[in-house]
Every structure is written in C-alpha cells, then in structure tokens.
Amino acid sequence: MQNIPADHKAGFVAVAGKPNVGKSTLVNAMLGQKVAAVSPRPQTTRKRQMGILTLENAQVIFIDTPGLHRARHKLGEAMNQEAAATLEECDLALFIVDANQPPDEEDAQLASLLSQHRTPVLVVLNKIDLLEPSELEPRQEAYAALAPQAEVRSVSSTRGDNLPALLETILARLPANPPYFPESQVTDLYEREIAADLIREAALRILRDEVPHGIAIRIDQYTEREDHGAYIEATIFVEKESHKGIVIGQGGSMLKQLGTAARLEIEAMSSRKVYLRLRVKVRKDWRDDEKVLRWFGYSNKG
C-alpha cells in the first residue's frame, strides 16, 4: 500500500462473548463477506480467526474467538485458553452479548475476565432485531452494569442496524499505525482451512443435536484445476459408530445433503466451481484426546 497517511490507524480487535451470541456473524457483516463459519448452534468457532477490514485511512483486524463456556472436555479447555490469550494481544475488545436475553452468570464471568486485562472494552448488544423497542434501554442498562467502565453499543449483525456507527467507535479507539496486512487480504486462514469450517458449519446446521459438536473435518486434498475450479476431498470424523450412520444417512442421503450445502458455501467463498468429495470415519472420544486435538490444530500442548 503506497502513500500511507500520517494519521493512518491500524489495530487488533478481539471479538469475545459466550457461544452463539453472533460473534462470527458480526465479523462477516463488518467485512461485507463471509470469512467465518456461522450456525444457530453454539461453539461454531473452535479456533481464532482474523477478519481484516482495510479502509482508506485505517485497517481493523477483527479476531473472532471461540465462545467462552464451561468446558466439558479438553477441546473446550483449549477453546477457552485460545479466547483468553487473544485478549492479551489486542488494542480493543468487543464484548458481544445477546440483546434478546438478560445477562446471566456466564456473562458476568466474562465481564470479570475482561476487567482483568488492560485492553479497553466496548459492550455490544447484538440481535436487537429480536428485541421489542421498549426492552432495549433496560437491557442496555443491565449489561452496562457488568462492565461499568465500558461504553455500550447496540447492533443487529443480520439486519445491519448501527454497524457503521459501531465501526466509527472502533476506529476512534485504534492507535496510529501503518497497515499490518496487504489491502487484498481479508483473513489469516488459507482457503482449505475455511473450506473445512464451512463443511463443519453445514453439519452444525443439518445434523441432529447429539452429533455436530463431536465432528471434526480434515481436508485431505485441495487441488486447483485451472478453469475447472477446485477439487476437494475431506474426511468427517465422528466420535461414535452410531454417529457415522447418522452422518451418512439412508443410502448416503444425509452425506449428500451435507456435501451440497458445504459445496455451495465454498463456491460462494472462493468464487469458483468446486467438486467436493466427503467420507466419514470414527475417531472415538477425540475431543478428550490431546494427541488428536494437536492433530486437528486445536491444541498447542506438547
């Protein structure tokens, strides 16, 4: 990027909150394109991911973190550690909450965690499109009480309410810096990593309740075929033999449905045709297996 103005701003913004409050949806909305997997189910995000917004006079690096939650297995512990570590490295933290729900114990715990860091905090009430207008002010006051030093903003990531104003508030709090990333870069993940997340997103949307969180995706092959688009082979790992049958479905019907949904999302992300081949394997209780968590890139423990 040439001729960087002296007042150019750039900084890292942690996007933190409980599972399923709309963190990834907010990042996608801010960037104007999909770089993070989203679904109605909690804990869609398992690893932190950057969403890079480059403007004429600023660059905002949103870091979408896993939702902080009560961990029930080693995967959950690794996700919580990933989210907490991100807060130490950022210039600003967005504390995303669900405006449609009153604050609970987990919100209070997260507010306490945020207060232990020197990183400035903005409380962002998301999903105000689901709230009656008369309920907004008391809900803002309830969340503001959790973080008295923080400013409060209210948005709808899906409808777009107040997103420009939120961006202005963020920009006002970023330090003066040259850009950290090239103008064309929108995330720190490679397309094959995003493809894996989009396959898992399809599973989260479509499969029965007991299956999705026990799923992991491994991209086995990602090959460019010039004018013919991309060829992708991926393995869906499940924790139980019974789950394998659910994912495959009768006569392969469920696996075909998952593949179609994921392929369409990957094509939209990559702007080209994709051939996607899926297979299913069992890796028993992998979420509590440190070796497997490292294999999938969810843990750095030796």
Q: Name the one residue in this structure whose structure tokens are 């709309």.
A: 22
The tally of domains found in the chain comes to 2
178 found inside a domain: no
- Residue 96: pLDDT over 90: yes
CA–centroid distance for 197 within its chain? 10
How much is the average pLDDT of 50-73?
Answer: 76
Residue bearing tokens 């030796």: 302
Q: Are residues 203 and 63 in the same domain?
A: no
Check whether residue 78 and residue 153 sit in a common domain.
yes
Q: Torsion over CA of 221, 35, 22 and 260, rounded to 10 degrees?
A: -50
One domain, residues 67 and 152: yes
Separation of alpha carbons 254 and 106, rounded Å: 35
Instruction: Say whether pLDDT at 210 is over 60.
Output: no
Per residue in 123-136, pLDDT (tens digit) is 999 999 999 999 99
Q: Identify whether residues 20 and 144 lie together within a single domain.
A: yes
Q: Mean pLDDT over residues 14-21, rounded?
A: 85
Residue 22 pLDDT exceeds 80: yes
Q: Is residue 222 pLDDT above 90, yes or no?
A: no
Closest by Cα among 35, 31, 29, 34 to 48: 35
Question: 257-301, pLDDT tens digit by residue?
Answer: 999 999 998 888 777 899 999 999 998 877 777 777 776 666 555
Same domain, 58 and 142: yes
Composition of the chain by helix, strand, coil, percent to 5: 40, 25, 40
Position 251 in a domain = yes
Output the domain CATH number for residue 225. Answer: 3.30.300.20
162 pLDDT higher than 90? yes
Question: Which residue, 172, 199, 218, sits at the end of a domain?
Answer: 172
Whether 25 and 160 map to the same domain: the answer is yes
For tokens 């020197």, the residue is: 118
Q: How far apart are CA 90 and CA 248, in angstroms?
A: 42
Average pLDDT, stretch 4-28? 87
The residue-averaged pLDDT of 50-66 equals: 88
Between the alpha carbon of residue 11 and those of residues 66, 94, 96, 173, 286, the distances in Å are 20, 13, 18, 9, 36
Indicate if 201 and 275 belong to the same structural domain. Answer: yes
Residue 128 lies in a domain: yes
- The share of the chain scoring above pLDDT 70, in percent, equals 81
Residue 191: what pLDDT?
A: 77
The answer on pLDDT for 202 being more than 60 is: yes
Distances (CA, A) of 264 to 237, 268, 269, 275: 21, 6, 9, 10
CB 296 within 8 A of CB 46: no
**Are residues 73 and 111 both part of a single domain?**
yes
Return d(Cα 16, Cα 148) in angstroms, integer: 17
CATH number at residue 72: 3.40.50.300
Task: Verify that 240 and 91 share a domain, yes or no.
Answer: no
Domain limit, last residue, from 127, 143, 172: 172
Kindly give the pairing relationship between strand 230-238 and strand 216-224: antiparallel
Instruction: Say how far apart CA 86 and CA 47 lie, in whole Å.
Output: 11
Counting every residue, how long is the chain?
302
pLDDT tier, 85 (very low <50, low <70, confident <90, very high otherwise): low
Q: 236 and 131 share a domain?
A: no
Lowest mean pLDDT of 42-51, 92-101, 130-139, 171-180, name the range: 42-51
Q: Domain ends where: 145, 172, 199?
A: 172
Residues 155, 216: one domain? no
The pLDDT of residue 43 is 42
Whether 87 is covered by a domain: the verdict is: yes
C-alpha distance across the termini of the chain, in Å? 39
- Residue 165 included in any domain: yes
Q: Which of 31-45, 222-236, 255-269 has the highest mean pLDDT?
A: 255-269
Average pLDDT over residues 206-213: 69
Model pLDDT, residue 6: 77
| 75 compared with 241, residue with greater pLDDT | 241
Instruction: Name the β-bridge partners of 277.
Output: 233
Residue 60 lies in a domain: yes
In a domain, 4, yes or no: no
Residue 180 falls inside a structural domain:
no
Q: Which domain holds residue 211?
A: 191-295
Residues 240-269 have a mean pLDDT of 90
One-letter amino acid of 138: P
Spatial CA neighbour of 208 closest among 240, 183, 182? 240
- In terms of domains, do 105 and 209 share one? no
- pTM listed for this prediction: 0.65
Tokens of 20: 């399923």
